[in-house]
Chain A
Amino acid sequence: MKRSQPFNWLGWSSFALLLAAWELIAWETPKLLLYFPPVSRILAALGDALAAGTILQHGWVTLGRFAAGYLLSAGLAVTLGVLLGYFRYLHGLLATSIELLRPMPSVAIIPVAILLLGIGDGMIISVTVYASVWPILINSIDGVRRVDPTLIDTGRTFGLSSWQILRQIILPAASPYIVTGLRIGLSIALILVTTAEMIAGSKGLGFFILDEERAMNSANMYAGIVVVALLGYALNRLFLLLESRAMKWRHGMIVRQTA
C-alpha cells in the first residue's frame, strides 16, 4: 500500500544514524569486538563471502526451500480455506482441529518432523508448509464467510452455477482477506525455513549463521543475518508489488477510505 508514497528520507536517515552509532560504539568497546563487530567489518565480511560465492549458494538453497514450502502452502491453504468457508458442514467437521492446532508455536513440530522425515529438504519444506498454512487458511475461511449474501444472490439471479459463483464472485470478493493471509504466511514461512535450517541442516542461510557463530566468525554470522534480512525485505517488496498489480481495484478504495 505504501508503493505510491514518496521516499521516506526521515526513516532512512534515522536508520543510517543507527548504523553509525553501532559503528562508533563497536570501536569504543574493543573487548566486545568478537560479539559485536563494527558495521564496516560486517560489510567487509559480507563482501568477501559474496565474492567467494559461499553465501550466495546458501542463499539459493534457502530461497528454493522457501519457495517450495510457501507456494505449496499457499495453494493448499487457499483451496482448503475457500472450501471450508463455502461449505458449512466441512467447516464444522474441521473447525475444532484447526482451533486447537493453530495456536501451537509451529517450531514445536520440528522435532517430530525430524523423527518422521529425517533432516533433508523434505523435512524443512514440510515444517514451512505446516507453519504458514494457518494464517492463509484462517483468512481464506474468514474472507469467504464475509462475502455479502447479496453478492451471491446477484450471481444466482444471473443464472450462475455454484461453481461459477465460487470462481467469479466469492473468490474475488474474498481476495482482500486471502491476500492478507498470504502476506502473513510469507514472513512465517521465512522464519520457519531459517529456524529449521539452524536445527537440522548442512546448507542454507540458517545453517550458515549458526555455523559461523560456532566457529566464532561473528562478522560472517552477521553477514548471514544481513542476507536473511535482505531476502525477507526483497520478498516482502515483491509481494507488495504483485499485490498492488492484482488488487488495483482495491488500492484506490483504501486510499479514499483512509484519506
Chain B
Amino acid sequence: MPILDVQALSKSYRQAGGDTTLAIGNITCQVEAGEFVSFVGPSGCGKTTLLMSIAGLLAPSSGRVVVNGKEVSGPPPNLVLLFQEYNKSLFAWRSVLGNVRFGLAARGARSAAAESKARKLIELVGLKGFESHYPWELSGGMQQRVAIARALAYEPEVLLMDEPFGSLDALTRLELEDALLRLWAELKTTILFITHDIEEAIYLSDRIWVLSRRPSQIMQELKIDFPRPRHQVTTRAEARFMELRNDIYRQIGNQEVP
C-alpha cells in the first residue's frame, strides 16, 4: 500500500469576476514509504495549490488524498508541510531551540528528553552553537535549516517540501540539497518535493513527475536511478543526467532544445 495516494485530485478557484479557473487538472499519483519524489513544473502551474491540498490545508474541488490508508479531510497527523518562505513560517519570538522544540511539542513530546532531542536535531542540520539565536540573526540558508529541523522534530512519515530552496543563493542551495539527502537517508522519511529547478529535482529524487502549465497535470513520470549517495559534481556530470535534464526541459520549457 502506498503511504501517499492522490486520486483524481482537482482544484478550481472562484475568481473576483465570478469565473472559476482550474488550477489543478486531474492528478493521480502514489508515493511509496521511504521514497524521495519530486514534482517539477513551470512557475505558476499550481504546484503550491497541489501541495496545500495534499497537506489538508486546502480542500480539493474533487478527488481525494489518502495518507497511510486514511482519507485526508484536514491536516493529517503524520504529515508536515515545509514552506518556501522560511522567514514567514519560523517563529520570530522563539530561539532556534524553541522553534525546534515546537515541532517536538506538537508531536506530544515533553520535558528533558525533548530538549536533548531538539539539540541533536539542531546538530544534525549543522546549526550546533546557534541554539539560542533568534531566526533574524541567521542567514536565509540557516533559517531554512531551522525550519527543516523543526519539521523533522515532528517525526512526520511524509514530509512535503514546497520549493524549500527557491529563494536561496546557488551555493547555499547545493549545500542544503546534500544536507537534506543525508537527513533523508538517516531518518528514512518519505519526501514529496516541489521545485521548478529541473536539475535539483533530478539530483534529489527517486522519481519525478513533470507537471504541465495550468491546469496542471502529470505529463510524464521519470525514474531516476543514479546510485546513492550522489555527488554534486560527478552525478551532475553524467551523460544520463544531461539527457534527463533536456528531456524535461523540452516538455516544460518554451524553447526547442537543438
Contact = CB atoms under 8 A, between A and B. Distances in A.
Size bin of chain B's contact surface: 20 to 34
A203 B134 CA distance: 49
A154 B91 CA distance: 10
B77 A253 contact: no
A150 B89 contact: yes
B93 A252 contact: no
Contacts of A253: 92, 134, 136
Interface stretch (B79-87, B189-197, B200-208, B239-247): B79-87
Nearest to B106: A158
B103 A172 contact: no
A256 B136 contact: yes
A169 interface: yes
Nearest to B81: A157
Given A150-B85, A150-B89, A253-B92, A157 B55 contact: yes
A160 interface: yes
A173 interface: yes
A250 interface: yes
Given A148-B88, A253-B136, A158 B93 contact: no
Contacts of A175: 93
A230 B25 CA distance: 68
A173 B134 contact: no
A105 interface: no
A158 B154 contact: yes
A156 interface: yes
Most B CB contacts (10 A, CB to CB) among A151, A154, A250 go to: A154
A141 B91 CA distance: 20
Size bin of chain A's contact surface: 20 to 34
A250 B93 contact: yes
Contacts of B55: 157
Interface in A126-145: none
A12 interface: no
Given A153-B83, A158-B80, A249 B154 contact: no
Contacts of A168: 102
Contacts of A154: 83, 89
A23 to B, nearest CB: 49
Given A159-B106, A252-B136, A150 B83 contact: yes
A14 to B, nearest CB: 36
B180 interface: no
Nearest to A256: B136
A4 to B, nearest CB: 17
B88 A150 contact: yes
Interface of A: 148, 150-151, 153-154, 156-160, 168-169, 172-173, 175, 249-250, 252-253, 256
Q: Nearest 4 CB-CB pairs, A to B?
A: A158-B106, A150-B88, A157-B81, A172-B93
